[in-house]
Amino acid sequence: MIFFNSADLMEEIEALVHRHPNKLSIETMESENKGYEAQVAVVTYCRDRKEDDKSMFRILLTFGQHGRELITSELALRILSILSEEEFLPKLDRKSMNSTLDKLVIKVVPMENLNGRKRVEAGDLCERRNGRGVDLNRNWSVDWGKKEKDYDPYEKNPGTAPFSEPESQIMRKLALSFEPHLWVNVHSGMQALFMPYDHRNTTPDGSSSVKMKKMVNDLNYRHFQGHCMTGSGGGSVGYLAHGTATDYIYDVAKVPMAFTFEIYGDESAPAKDCFRMFNPTNLTTFKAVLNDWSAAFFTLFKFGPQLLGLANSEESAKWVSIDDYLDGYLMSRRNRYGKEMEVFELGLQEIRSYFRLFMLSCIILMFMFCTRISKSKLQRPNAPVLPT
């Protein structure tokens, strides 16, 4: 078995924290509703433990919100191991990374839905909900309780009210008190880098939306050869989701960068084989998923703060390009016209190509014009000046 069970995984994480008291700490948050209790462990990474400093860039990552998505919690352990310098990324320049990490506080929730995870470990491999059958990613207050035509109560039960579930209460409390700049809710079932919204098939207006789009596109091409699905969760996944964590975190908690990453999925797996649908089943794929995604997360740690303009670095200059300028321009046009469609994205590539061609023709024309002028000047040095 390549996966840890929940108890062993949490034990590994606790041992890691205790080996690195100058970088890591752990706390357990608890809540209860009508006799149903939940505990959520939160690991804080902060070099030299300066975490009270409000000038730091704050990142909140949560894993294992759905019980059956075991691979996500393994990624949490991997990221913490790299942060504590017990494991290394092959192409990571540690010195430059450490200067980035000096400015960050990262809170990691390795297993948000421990009770649901225990159900999976007891043999119910298709269980995604919490210990009493509520989908924790439908229990938040933005557009809560709205049901689509394909609503499946087994999969998507939103609970009796927004934040009826102790796990969601804990996560909301954590997000509102920590006030992160960057949030990632990590899932599996497909390969995707989603941004808000989940409850609409559009992305939000405004500059932080442009930055999020830029970030996911960069991650997609840098780490996944463009294979990940990107865009708004609701616009890309094929169904709208109501009451999700990321929509709340973006819309209500006002976190400027809020993502949902889907790190692995086997769409060829039979519908009943949930383990295979959501988790890699051989060691090679297991390692590849953890390597690729931990590298992507460290890219996010490095460029997220720069994109938001909250860290000064010479490398931030790299982010300005014609493509970026056009993205911004098209985005503001799109906002003005109101009726956004994800289909609009398809036009981007063509417009970029035409724009490049146009610029190139201008340069060639200018060049020809200049050489003609200088030639004619050389040939007729004493030509009489004509009245204009």
Binding map of Zn ion across residues 143-172, x = CB under 5 A, - = no contact? ------------------------------
Of residues 178 through 207, those in contact with Zn ion by CB under 5 A are: 187
Check residue 161 and report its DSSP letter. Answer: S
Nearer to Zn ion, 267 or 350 (CB): 267
Residue 189 CB, shortest distance to Zn ion, in Å, is: 6
Stretch that binds Zn ion, among 65-73, 90-98, 177-185, 203-211 (CB under 5 A): 65-73
d(CA 305, CA 100): 9
66 lies in the binding site for Zn ion (CB under 5 A): yes
Backbone torsions φ then ψ of 199, nearest 5 degrees: -90, 0
Piece in contact with Zn ion (CB under 5 A), picked from 38-46, 63-71, 117-125, 285-293: 63-71
In the residue annotation, 262 being an active-site residue is answered as yes
Taking alpha carbons only, the member of 38, 240, 241 closest to residue 132 is 38
Cβ 185 to Zn ion, closest distance in Å? 9
At residue 134, the 3 state secondary structure works out as: coil
Interface of this chain with Zn ion, residues 292 to 321, rule: CB under 5 A: none
Q: How far is Cα 23 from Cα 16, in angstroms, rounded to an integer?
A: 10
Nearest residue to 315 via CA among 104, 99, 106: 99
Cα dihedral sign for 280, 60, 175, 170?
A: positive
Number of residues counted as binding Zn ion (CB under 5 A): 2
Comparing CB distances to Zn ion, the nearer of 58 and 187 is: 187
Nearer to Zn ion, 180 or 189 (CB): 189
Query: Is residue 68 close enough to count as binding Zn ion by CB under 5 A?
Result: no
Measured at the CA of 82, the angle between CA 175 and CA 195, to 5 degrees, comes to 40
229 bridge partner residues: 192
**SS3 track for 39-52:** EEEEEEECHHHCCC
Residue 284 CB, shortest distance to Zn ion, in Å, is 24
Choose the catalytic residue: 74, 262, 267, 342.
262
Residue 117 interacting with Zn ion (CB under 5 A): no
SS3 state at 223 = helix
Binding site for Zn ion (CB under 5 A): 66, 187
Give the catalytic positions in this structure: 262
